[in-house]
Structure 1
Amino acid sequence: MTYLLPILVLIIVLFLLSRKRKKSQVKPFPKHWHELLLKNVQFYKKRTEEEQLVFQKRMMLFLSEISIEAVQFELKELDTVLVAASAVIPVFGFKEWHYNNLSTVLIYPDYFDENLSFDADVKGRKIAGLVGTGRFKNQMILSRKALHHGFTNATDKGNTAIHEFVHLLDNTDGATDGIPERLLEHQYIAPWLALMHKEMEAINNDTSDIRSYGGTSQTEFFAVASEYFFERPDIFKRKHPELYKMLSTCFYTQK
């Protein structure tokens, strides 16, 4: 029964959201969020003032289209800011983007297991985030702890929320397979595959600084490498120049 409760809660929340969900009017950017972003989001802090204004508008557009809900805790402003920032970062280089394959982001208070349980007594609570399938299609589930950790740890190369939003970008061609065909022109696909498998081999031989999860599949490699690309771009460019160039093409040359 313990395992069923989180799923039942999730189904009820999604049912209620599906009944009330409509595209809202884009609200003005709360001025005090600027300080929250400067304090917590390095990607935003490094942008010019003009780019920061664009970033703010993109955040508010995202929040007008996607519902963010907390499960068994009270949603705080910073939670909302970090989710919206995570959504904007991977698509900031695009002229326009709408997450048409997402309707709701559900935030759990802690890491969870395959049964979506985050009870402290349950073993195997290792999942930090996922993009739903089946009955949970178009839903994203994030651990609040992982969400905040992705922005408070300035020395690692990971960010769970960015990772999950990259999975959504990967999925826009109809398959979450690590080959972003909607983001790369055809002539880049073969070089991308070659680079990806070369680096996955290095990961699995323990000769790469890209975290080991990236070596488990093409899908996870694309998301893990993208986390590194956005979180520590200078180091990534120095250590992985070919991958950096390819991901720059992917994320910053969209019309």
Structure 2
Amino acid sequence: MKFQRRSFLKLLPALPAIPYLSGQKSGNAAKISMRFVVASDGHYGQPDTDFKTFHSDLISWVNREKLQKGVDFIFFNGDLIHDDPTLLYDFKSTLANLRVPYYVSRGNHDKVGLDVWQSTWGYATNHSFAKGEYAFIVGDTSNEKGEYVCPDAAWLRTEIAKYSEKKGIFVFLHITPAKWTVNGIECKEVIDLFENTPNVKAIFNGHDHDQDSTKMYGKKPYFFDGHFGGSWGTAYKGYRIVEIYEDSTWQSYQYNPAASPILNTFSGKN
């Protein structure tokens, strides 16, 4: 059956208009070369939470973003499910309603073995991918027991070297590798590696549901995106947007779909 855009829009909840950007980039839509969403901590299956609504809301928001401005992909930065490994299939089935490509990382509540993870997603818990002039590196920060662990620094170093000619590298780690939040973990070798790699542009962290801002280690920004599920955290459920421009600049901001503010904008240059 032919897809009707008007009919699809009727299925989405009423949302406020999403402004293109705050600040200096306003009205410059033609200059975007890539746009992606980062969302974390959906905790699919967590008892005593409305987890199905949390996921259907996020999917509707991202599908609306796709229609209004374009989204190249969404990254789910860990805690996809809540402890029970059998929930992984239901979570993946829910994502069938997304109209954009997606990638995932393992969080401490994703208590799934490496073999199940590989067979479900088609890639390991440590993985990377490239899109055009940019590379994206995903490091594992937990294990099947749900323990907090530092990402594999040797593996990260190899992946960074593989993408040394890329204009920019963006890194995704569920648990932040610095003890600047209650739930962070100190991984000095990792943060020094990022700091000393010029084309590492930013690191994205989940895990700390109450964090939605930017923290700086040296010259590198570490972004947090609050949460879109779970039982605690920021007063709103939202996600982070990253927009990369043709003039080698980029911008990231946190977004609250319910109230429509753009929060905690950060601008960078490649």
TM-score by length of 2: 0.29
Larger relative CO (CA 8 A, sep 6+): 1 or 2? Answer: 2
Structure with the higher fraction of residues in helix conformation: 1
Structure with the higher fraction of residues in strand conformation: 2
TM-score by length of 1: 0.30
